[in-house]
Amino acid sequence: MAKSLPVSPLASSLPALGVVPGVRLGAVAAGIRYHGRTDLVVAEFIEGTTVAGVFTQSKCPGAPVDWSRKALTGGSARALVVNAGNANVFTGQAGVETCRITAIAEAGLAGCSPQEVFLASTGVIGEILPADRITKALPELHAGLSETGWEDAARGIMTTDTFPKAALRKVEIEGVSVTIQGIAKGSGMIAPDMATMLGFVATDASLPAPVLQTLLARGITGSFNSITVDSDTSTSDMVLLFATGYAGNRIISSADDPALAAFRDALNGLLLDLALMVVRDGEGATKQIKITVNSAVSNASAREVAKAIANSPLVKTAVAGEDANWGRVVMAVGKSGEPADRDRLSIAIGGVIIARDGTVVEGYDETPVVAHMKGREIDIVVDLGLGNGTATMWSCDLTHGYIDINGSYRS
């Protein structure tokens, strides 16, 4: 049984969640790994629900990732089954069989094809996931499915998370009111390479699967693909976006249609909210770090520089120690492999420019920076002085708490 972890000091409170017409959810304790808490979640969708998905780029993905990737080709979804505590990764043919049995069992209860059932798992790698623990729990789960089951679902997918993560947006498409609501889990093994966590978002908007896919793929660039906790990309993770069509808006055939402008903004905002909750629940984290890189040769180059800073253990431990050690930021810029000129570089922390033109700013007063470093949200801005490229990444500090959690993860 996993130890109960103290709630992150950066924890976000759950918003007042609503419902997404056409979606029912629930969670139950199936005893997959944890005892005394829910660990199996089901969401069911009305007929006609479309789906989009993005998946980990790990070369060693779990069986549920393979299953859901294949299911995505159909473009429609009727159910989602998620378990916590066991990732069903590196489990050979047994893992594939667990997916098949689970999908068939859920399809029988939902009245759909197994190819319309999406699967996700999170937890320990390399342990066989017994299918019977899932299939035995599914009937009870179905009896309790509810439109208001979002909070239960958010709690049921947690592993080392210390708080449940959910976000809500209300928006209009050509005067028709639609809802977007989502949940996520993630705390460790978090690095930008598609998703590196689990996220499930649903809307009652009516949108074709190709449009959904474009919106989601674009949306993760500035959200889930712009966060890192420990530079490790998971084998298991995915973000799925479901559209039930219940709102009845006009079908829109292009993601670039101006009629979707407000919806795009709302979706992107929701994805960023969920992603930042993951950073704020980083294992052992006490501070959130925002890294902005400006004036790079391109946006892609700026992103690589920001990633090098965000992933640097030396930068992250300096932040944990409340030390404005800008030299470590210079180091991270230099190791990124991207174009940089020491004598054009400038660095600001908490809005105060510390270093510029290859050296420390003359007369630099560290007092406001020291005060900023004692806060919980740290802001680092790097200007490379080379071009127009810009990027932002979010990370967290690295404390002994990370070692404590991961050193005893399986015990």
Positions at the binding site for substrate = 159, 185, 196, 283, 406, 411
Q: Are 118 and 71 in contact (CB under 8 A)?
A: yes
Structure tokens at 292: 């902005």
- Helix count and strand count (H, E) for the chain: 11, 15
Could you count the other beta carbons within 10 Å of the beta carbon of residue 246?
20
Residue with tokens 């978090």: 190
Q: Give the H/E segment covering residue 288.
A: strand 288-296
Residue with tokens 């029912």: 24
Q: Which residues are catalytic?
A: 196
User: For the residues of 128-192, what is the DSSP string, one character each?
Assistant: ---HHHHHHHHHHHHHT-BTTTHHHHHHHT-SS-SS-EEEEEEEEETTEEEEEEEEEE-SSS--S
Could you count the other beta carbons within 10 Å of the beta carbon of residue 4?
9
User: For the residues of 210-223, what is the DSSP string, one character each?
Assistant: HHHHHHHHHHTTTT
Which residues have C-beta within 8 Å of that of residue 321, sequence separation ≥ 6? none
Dist CA 364 CA 409 (whole Å):
44
Residue type at 78?
R
Q: What are the CA-CA distances from residue 263 to residues 184, 243, 256, 275, 388 (Å)?
A: 20, 12, 11, 18, 28
Dist CA 188 CA 372 (whole Å):
26
